[in-house]
Structures are given as C-alpha cells and as structure tokens.
Structure 1
Amino acid sequence: MTTSQSPTGLPSAAPSGLLDGLETRPSQVWGAVRLVPLVRAEAIHDLRLHPRIHDGPGVVDLGGQRRYLSYIPHGFVAEWTGDGSPAAAYGTQLTDGRPEQEVPAMRLHFHRRMARREAKRRLRFLPLHLALEGYLSLHFNGPAVAWEQWSQRALRQGLSPRVEAAYLGTEIPGLADALRVFEIHPGQCGVLVHLADAPATAFVVPHPDDYRTLHPTLLQDLYGDLVHHYATLMPSVADFRARIADTRIRSLADLREAAVEQTARWADFHDTTMASGLLEQENTWQQVRRMGRFTLSRFLPPFRPRQDNHIGEAITDEHGRTVYLKTFRLSENQVRRGHLLSRLAAHDWHLADTAAELGLTEAQLGLRLETAGFGHLLRQDVLDHYRSRARAGHR
C-alpha cells in the first residue's frame, strides 16, 4: 500500500507498482556488479528524455531564500506531446560536427529549483536531486513545539544545515566496466543495479532510444556509502545460469516452452527476491509537477531500521504506470536519522513520548540523537545531563 501527497497536502494518485509494464531479463555479472535489464513490451512514444551536461558544482535555488550547493554532473530534459503523438528527444538534431569551445576553468551553474518548465511541453529536472531534496527537507524546520530540551539554535534554524555524502558512479569498483561491456537488450528501457547482490539503484526511461543515450549517465549518478562499501569489500557474485533438463525436451516446441518457463522464473526471482526491498516498501509520495498526462513525483520510504530503504523519483502516466524512475538506497545511518526525525515529528517533538514509543529512556533517546548527528538540537546542559545518567547507569 502506498500513500501520496501533492505539494499542497491533498491526496493524489500513486503508482500501482514501481516496475509495472516492465519485464526483467537474465542478469549480467561483472565482479560484484549485477545488472538486471528491464524491457518494455511497448515503448512510450509521447514522452522522451535526453541529458543536459553541467559538469561541475551547482547552486540550486529552492525559493524562499533557501539554496544548497551540490555536485550536479547532468540534468534530464523531458519533452512530451499533448495529443499522444510521438515526440523526439530535444537533443536529436543535425550538427556540423565541430566541437564546442572548451572552457579552461570550472564554472558554477545556477539552477532555479529542481524541476523547471522551460517551454510549454519541456521540463528540465535534476536526476536524484528531487529525491534527495525530499530526504534532506524531512522535518527541516525542526521542533514544532518549544519544549524545554531543545536549543535556541534548533528553534531558530531547525535542521539547517543538513549535509549528506554520496559517491559518484565512477568511484564504484567495476561499474564502469560493467556498463561498457554488457549487452543492451532490444527494447531495454531500464536496469536494476545490484552491488554484491544488494539493490543499489533502479533506472527506468520511456523509450529504448532514450536508454541507449542515458545508459552512460549511470556513472554520473550518486550512490550511497553502503553499496559503495559492498562493491569494494565483497567478493564477486555468482553468475546464475539457466539449466534446462534434456530429458523433457523432445522437440523444438518443448525447448521453446522450457525457455519461456525459465525466463518467467528469472523474472520472478529478480522481482520477489533480488529487488523485494525496493518493490515491497510502503512509500509516501509527493507530486512535484504535472506534465500533460504524466506526473513527476518523488517518494520516501517508511525508514525501517535494518532493512532496505530507498528514496526515489518517478514519472507516471494517468494509470499510475512508471515511465521514468531513479532510486537511491539509503545507508543504515541515513535510515536511522530519518526514523528518529519521523518518530519525533509524530509526537510533536516531545522527547519523553517519543522515547516511550521506541522503548527507550529519555536519556537514551537524547544520546541517540547525538550519535545520529542531531546533538546540536539539544541544549548543552540537557545533553550533559543525559551523558551523566548514561555513565551512572554503567557503574
């Protein structure tokens, strides 16, 4: 079950399934990297994506005097038609082949909001930054009630600044080689990336031509420290191969039937086992922009400790089917921070009530907040009191 909110807080339609309309194909393995192709039976023709390269740091203006600085290697431009007729990717045009003039110094790019309409039926958005903004802005204003435990900084500034680190795809061992040598299937519109058989990201686009163009941008995407450690420290994963018992094969029809059966088993294995943490989590959705019959949204997980938790963004059609998807797996520390903030907000930031729900003492909860990086939200004398109680409890 998924819940959904529009920016105004009103309910809106949420996707019925993240991978609806997509079929998985047998995975391809390179070291600790496993890529699972996603294929559409019928491509989406009236929405197309193409990349816009930024290549450098950028300042994103969120409005309301809120800005943040991040490395933004590329953006996506979505173009759609109003009558369902086929659309060409905006970057598809003839050139004279002359390279652009190189700029010797790194430039700072300024972006107005995450998703900006550039024309009537053209939208520029920053991939994954929509999803990360949703996570970073989680209860960003801080305590809703000025309980005595909270510091003046917490009451005035909330959680500002929020900082999260991530790895560039080029720093993930084996990913560049895997993307370079692996086969792109006919009709492929997406991929599931597993690192040490832990789901790292899902990437889906509307059209096979879009995927061939955007396939290399997976190296420019962001990946969490958890999956980076998995790819770095874990051994190569097994390459599961299909086996068909020859005793049941008496004709080409029998062989074809066995191949279809094995393909269905592969799809069930990838969907129900390999990617279950992503596909089965209960998400909270928020609409970002309407695009004709399509809707750009982002989602947050329920922040389940010691389980897979993925944030992400998606474009869905009027039936809730996924047209575009990009996800980011949170580390355990990021899940812990999201879980603590969510439970505090659910209890109006009352420490004692939140601690009781979590089965902790108020002092234990205060020290957990400090460990999670939120110690500055508590008054110094209150935090010192919690530390002294913890020390006394160990004696």
Structure 2
Amino acid sequence: MTQLDLTGLTAEPAQVWGGIRLVPLVRETPITDLRLRRDLFTDAWMAVEPGDGSYYASYIPHGFVADWARDGKWQAAYGTQLCDEYDQPDDTPVHAIPMRRLVQRAGSRRLRFLPLHLALEGYLALHFGGPSVLWEEWAKRAVSRGLSPRAEMAYVGASVEGLDEALRIFEIHPGQCGVMVYTADALAAAFVVPHPDDYRALHSSLLQDLYGELVYQHAYYSPPVREFTAVIEDARVSDLAGLRSAALGQLDAWAEDHDRHLAGGLLDESYEITQLRRMGAAGRYRLSRFLPPFALHREQHIGETITDLKGRVAYLKSMRLSENQVRRGHLLSQLARYDWNLEDTAAALGSSPVELVRRIRSAGFDGLLKRHVVEAAQRGRWDGRPSSRQGG
C-alpha cells in the first residue's frame, strides 16, 4: 500500500463555473522524454479478448499513446491519430473492435492503452474468481464461474452538468500539466500528463472520460460553489515588492489548503498498486493501476498512473467511486479475507449471517448463493450450523 506522489506539481487558484471547480496543476519542470497523445476510434465499441474465452467490452471513444525517447531529447509529433473525427448518424450500427489487451505495444518506443479502463478492469476483476472453497452456502456456479459477469455504470463527461462549458472557458495556465475536477467541491477526477503541450492537446478529452454516479448527481443538483478570493491587508503593504510578496503568499496558502482539504481524499489515501508495464529508456517509467482499501463512509478513488523510478507521477487519471461501488468492493474484500466463509465474515463485520446474506443480495451477488440460503435470509432465520467444506 502506498500513496500517490505528485512531487513537482503545484495547485494554482481554482476557476469556477456553477457547481464545477477546476484546479490547474502546474509542473515547474516539464517531462520531455515521455509524451502522451490521443488516438480516436471511429467505432467506439471495444471488445478486449485476452484469449481465455472471456472478454471485456466497453464504450471507448478514445485511447492514449505514450511515446518515449532513448536519449531524452525526442519530441512528440502532434496531429497524428488513428482516424479523423466525424459525425455518425444515430442509426449507424457500432461494430466491435477486437483487441488482445487493454495495453498494447505499438513499436519499440510506443505504448497504446485505454484511459481509465485499466483502472476499471482492476475494479471489476476484484476477487473475480469467487469463493476459493465450496462452502455449504455457495452454489457450485460460484466456484466454477466466479463473479461472471460483472458490470458497472458510469457517465460520460459530456453528460456531467456544466463540465463542457467549464472546460470551454477554462484558462490554461503556462506550464499546466494537469487538472483536478470538482463537482459541489467533491473531487470527481484527477488528470495529470508529462508536458504542457500534452495537456493542451488532451484538455477536451475530459468530456469523453468516465465519471461516477455521485459526480453526476453533485453536478446536476449543486448550487454555485464559492470562488477563490485573495485577501490582502492593505495596511501591511507599502510598496510593489510587499504587494508581490503578499500575493505569492496567498497562492502558497491556496495550494496548501487545496492539498490538505479538497484533494486530501485522493492524496492522503494508501493504495494497492499493480504494475502493468515497464516503459521508457532502461525501464524508467512504469504504467500501473491502483485500488483503494474500500473503506466505508470515506472518499475512495480508482485510477492509473505512469511513474518514474522514484514513484513520482508523470501521468495520472482517477475516477471517484460511488458509495454503492465502495460497499461492493468492501464486501468482496471482506469475503475474500475470510475465505468466503459467511459466518466468519459476518462476525468480522459485526453483523449476523442473515444480514450478510441480505448485503450480498443487495450488492447483486445473490445468484452465487444457494436458494435455501437466500430464502432463509428472507425469513430472517439462520439454522446456526457451521459451514462445512465440500470441495476445493
């Protein structure tokens, strides 16, 4: 478990549009030996086939390509893409594009991946295998097929109230390499890239990213949020140098307050990091995804990063989970921790087996339980017999 390291990035004063708050992240020294660009897909329905008989399907309007240089001096050529954008009639069928993996090499110094879907794949695959032991309460299907299939709903950025207009009027700062997106002052997403040119090219891609249900609701129902206002006491300023010093002090205070309060739910949390691919000269950069501890009643995010050998973030994209998604992740983690034994898990959660079965059903996993267990829970009864192993 480790925290995200945003060393080198500084939060500038926010810009507000209605219930949307956008906080620019400026990088003092841009990263020049790793660059990101965008690939567009005419057919936005993507099916990933890993070759084991399963597949991952999602609506994916764009992907990212990471390029790197062996000597650190290479610069990206912008304007290249897989295809041109075009207007597709509503009645035009969308065809699936087969891919072998969510991350693919595209040459010796290029890597293509699907933004946020690396993180979603990790969340959907959380304890996907189901019970490791066929306890009495679990159906044989639970052991043979696990949690197949699992599905989650998300909203495209264009449907988040006010986000398109906020991005349109947003002032991009010199040296800006990222942004924190807030709805009703709740952190919705973080987006960081290596170089300011990358951010300018990818700024509008935030409208095609995925956002959770909580973010959508906050943006829809939120009243306008408070704008950042610098307050300088005129009695303490006697010349331009003093005014400049006071203004810089206000900027520093804003950045500290932002990291401690607004972004604390993302930056103060510890994550389980899974490395997916090494890249760059001598494997300097690592593409990874991260999962939170699924702590209840706490802000939780999933996401993906590209970090250097010291763990500092060069690329970051995160997605805030809804309360229901956090509860499902917490439930699965607890079941796996106690080897899917209902009585042991219920005791650890401070509830009864009957209540645990109800939680499993509420999470949409009731199909994995035997029918008599579900019926007993509906009647509020539990026979109290200890579970027994019937197979491995």
- Give TM-score, length-normalised by structure 2: 0.92
In 2, Cα distance between equivalents of 1:62 and 1:83 = 34
Tell me if 1:251 matches 2:239. yes
Identity among equivalent pairs (%): 54
Look up the match of 1:6: none
In 1, Cα distance between equivalents of 2:185 and 2:155 = 18
Instruction: Return the letter of the residue paired with 1:40.
Output: R
Structure 2 counterpart SS, 1:373? coil
In 2, Cα distance between equivalents of 1:390 and 1:260 = 65
Tell me if 1:270 matches 2:258. yes
In 2, Cα distance between equivalents of 1:112 and 1:347 = 34
Instruction: Return the letter of the residue paired with 2:188.
Output: A
Structure 2 counterpart SS, 1:264? helix
Tell me if 1:237 matches 2:225. yes
Q: 1:346 aligns with which of 337, 358, 363?
A: 337
Q: What is the count of residue pairs matched by the alignment?
A: 375
In 1, Cα distance between equivalents of 2:100 and 2:30 = 31
Q: 2:70 aligns with which of 67, 77, 82?
A: 82
Question: Does the CA-based 8 Å contact 1:311-1:329 persist in structure 2?
Answer: yes
Gap change, CA 1:46 and 1:329, over 3 Å in 2: same
In 2, Cα distance between equivalents of 1:200 and 1:367 = 30
Structure 1 counterpart SS, 2:187? strand
Hey, which bits of structure 1, 4+ residues long, moved more than 4 A? 98-104
CA displacement 1:169-228 (0-9 Å, x = unmatched): 000000000000010000000000000100000000000000000000000000000110
Tell me how far 1:118 sits from its aligned partner.
0.9
Gap change, CA 1:101 and 1:140, over 3 Å in 2: closer
Question: Does the CA-based 8 Å contact 2:5-2:311 persist in structure 1?
Answer: no
In 2, Cα distance between equivalents of 1:21 and 1:154 = 47
Q: 2:15 aligns with which of 28, 39, 42?
A: 28
In 2, Cα distance between equivalents of 1:354 and 1:230 = 33
**Which deviates further from its counterpart, 335-344 or 48-57?**
48-57
Tell me how far 1:82 sits from its aligned partner.
1.9
Q: 2:41 aligns with which of 54, 58, 71?
A: 54
Look up the match of 2:365: 374
Tell me if 1:261 matches 2:252. no
Look up the match of 2:290: 299
In 2, Cα distance between equivalents of 1:328 and 1:318 = 24
Tell me how far 1:269 sits from its aligned partner.
1.2
Q: 2:348 aligns with which of 337, 353, 357?
A: 357
Q: 2:57 aligns with which of 54, 57, 69?
A: 69
Gap change, CA 1:102 and 1:29, over 3 Å in 2: closer
Instruction: Return the letter of the residue paired with 1:33.
Output: I
Tell me how far 1:93 sits from its aligned partner.
6.0
Gap change, CA 1:314 and 1:260, over 3 Å in 2: same
Question: Over aligned residue pairs, what C-alpha RMSD do you find?
Answer: 1.9
Tell me if 1:42 matches 2:33. no
Question: Does the CA-based 8 Å contact 2:45-2:58 persist in structure 1?
Answer: yes
In 2, Cα distance between equivalents of 1:131 and 1:215 = 20
Question: Does the CA-based 8 Å contact 1:63-1:113 persist in structure 2?
Answer: no
Give unmatched runs, 5+ long, in structure 1: 4-15
Tell me how far 1:240 sits from its aligned partner.
2.3
Tell me how far 1:17 sits from its aligned partner.
3.3
Instruction: Return the letter of the residue paired with 2:14.
Output: S
In 1, Cα distance between equivalents of 2:216 and 2:61 = 19
Instruction: Return the letter of the residue paired with 1:388.
Output: R
Structure 1 counterpart SS, 2:49? strand
Instruction: Return the letter of the residue paired with 1:301.
Output: P
In 2, Cα distance between equivalents of 1:390 and 1:279 = 44
Question: Does the CA-based 8 Å contact 1:80-1:121 persist in structure 2?
Answer: yes
Tell me if 1:19 matches 2:6. yes
Structure 1 counterpart SS, 2:198? helix
Structure 2 counterpart SS, 1:42? coil
Give unmatched runs, 5+ long, in structure 2: 383-392
Question: Does the CA-based 8 Å contact 2:10-2:25 persist in structure 1?
Answer: yes
Tell me how far 1:102 sits from its aligned partner.
7.6
Tell me how far 1:124 sits from its aligned partner.
0.2
Gap change, CA 1:101 and 1:172, over 3 Å in 2: closer
Q: 2:123 aligns with which of 135, 144, 159?
A: 135
Question: Does the CA-based 8 Å contact 2:40-2:84 persist in structure 1?
Answer: no
Tell me how far 1:103 sits from its aligned partner.
7.2
Matching of residues 164-179 of structure 1 within 5 Å: 164-179=152-167
